[in-house]
Chains A and B, each alone.
Chain A
């Protein structure tokens, strides 16, 4: 029995009884396991005589004497001269070939399919043809788990009350609440929402427990023959998050343009101004908004700068369609 019999067990019989040509029944294999084959190229191209530097490729046979105008044919008298004339044509470089591997271009993955998500009721599994409709209102997500991205490369599967460790979040302090908008999957006892690639109306709210240095790692590198070595102690900045809430609300409004931040001058200056510098800022009549608010609309200098500063409503990372990496 072959090794893939387990997979194919329910689908097709491995042997089939046929009426053979010799007047008796015989059993034929239906499934053939070919040996492992390594593909070295999608197309093989045979090139003649390219493996050696030659002055061009010699012709297969010498030119006809009447076309060979640059040679005096009267000089070809002996058999040896005739052989010389054929010499290049039968040169071994003609017979040698070089086989070149040609690889097909990689398949284009663009355009990507349109972002959607599928809602699956566990009572209707497996959902082959008819998919249930999305629930209208806000779902009860108290006993849910969610898979969200806390940075461009890291996915967490969490429930409410979990504590997860992420990379250090820029300009955040312990006690602040942050929202992560890139949720790849939400599931509960009765249903599952698979994001393709994300669930657009789900969010994960978390509180920053602490921003600390993680434990020490002793790093030692050496090259014996160079007599070189390097010893240091490495500590990584991390952020601990406590998950407060998982929100799944199809009625959630998409985020508009980011609101005009209060500290417009910081963005204008592209740095965080010192309190002493902010004291001298001219304020409008209400005493809250600076006069600059009429001039500068608070738009991003470069895409993603608001998210990096923590000014957006939620953190969004690829493959979310709303993350700034995905915008073309």
Chain B
């Protein structure tokens, strides 16, 4: 089995033994002390952590959206309406910032929501139709 394992490949793709045992500390059973078993577990763990690092931004975005949504719904403004109005009003605050505002600066966040309400209920001027260009 270990002949197939990346730990035994060339130096470029190999996980150093010290790193393996460092990461495998606290694993179950012989997986923390035996190189053959630990290597398999550590490969899996590191690869999962690689995927999780890429998922982190998506998770955060979802988290921010849910926080903004619950904060703006207190003022009867769903998240989608808020975003629509902010786009119309050319306000480029991103989700992270809006979430931070909702948590730490409630009055300024209320200002943004009021501004968004004003923009949302006003019908936008006619947009240029580019379908025939």
Spell out A's residues near B (CB within 8 Å): 6-7, 10-11, 104-105, 107-108, 110-113, 115, 118, 120, 122, 125-128, 145, 147, 155, 157, 184-185, 187, 192, 194-198, 217-222, 224, 227-231, 319
Contacting pair B111 A192 (CB below 8 A): yes
Spell out B's residues near A (CB within 8 Å): 4, 6, 9, 12-16, 19, 23, 43, 46-47, 50, 53, 73, 76, 78, 89-94, 96-97, 100-101, 104-105, 107-108, 110-112, 114-115, 117-118, 127-131
Known: A110-B128, A126-B114. A222 touches B92 (CB 8 A): no
Contacting pair B90 A113 (CB below 8 A): yes
Q: Kindly list chain B residues whose C-beta atoms are within 8 Å of the C-beta of A128.
A: 114, 118
Contacting pair B19 A218 (CB below 8 A): yes
Q: What is the CA–CA distance of A110 and B108 in the complex, to the nearest angstrom?
A: 29
Give chain B nearest CB distance to A128 CB in angstroms. 6
Q: What is the CA–CA distance of A40 and B4 in the complex, to the nearest angstrom?
A: 47
Cβ-closest chain A residue relative to B48 = A220
Known: A185-B101, A187-B108, A230-B13. 19 other contacts (CB 8 A): A7-B73, A7-B76, A110-B128, A111-B128, A113-B89, A115-B90, A125-B114, A126-B110, A155-B94, A155-B96, A187-B107, A194-B91, A194-B111, A194-B115, A196-B90, A218-B23, A222-B43, A228-B9, A230-B12
Q: What is the CA–CA distance of A194 and B118 in the complex, to the nearest angstrom?
A: 14
Q: Kindly list chain B residues whose C-beta atoms are within 8 Å of the C-beta of A220.
A: 15, 43, 46-47, 50
Q: Kindly list chain A residues whose C-beta atoms are within 8 Å of the C-beta of B43.
A: 220, 222, 229
Give chain B nearest CB distance to A220 CB in angstroms. 4
Cβ-closest chain B residue relative to A6 = B73
Give chain B nearest CB distance to A195 CB in angstroms. 7
Give chain B nearest CB distance to A11 CB in angstroms. 7
Q: What is the CA–CA distance of A157 and B96 in the complex, to the nearest angstrom?
A: 10
Contacting pair B93 A185 (CB below 8 A): yes
A-B contact pairs, 8 of them (CB 8 A): A7-B78, A108-B128, A110-B128, A126-B117, A147-B93, A155-B97, A192-B108, A219-B46
Contacting pair A187 B105 (CB below 8 A): yes
Contacting pair A104 B131 (CB below 8 A): yes
Q: Kindly list chain A residues whose C-beta atoms are within 8 Å of the C-beta of B111.
A: 120, 122, 125, 187, 192, 194
Contacting pair B112 A194 (CB below 8 A): yes
Q: What is the CA–CA distance of A51 and B94 in the complex, to the nearest angstrom?
A: 46
Q: What is the CA–CA distance of A111 and B92 in the complex, to the nearest angstrom?
A: 16
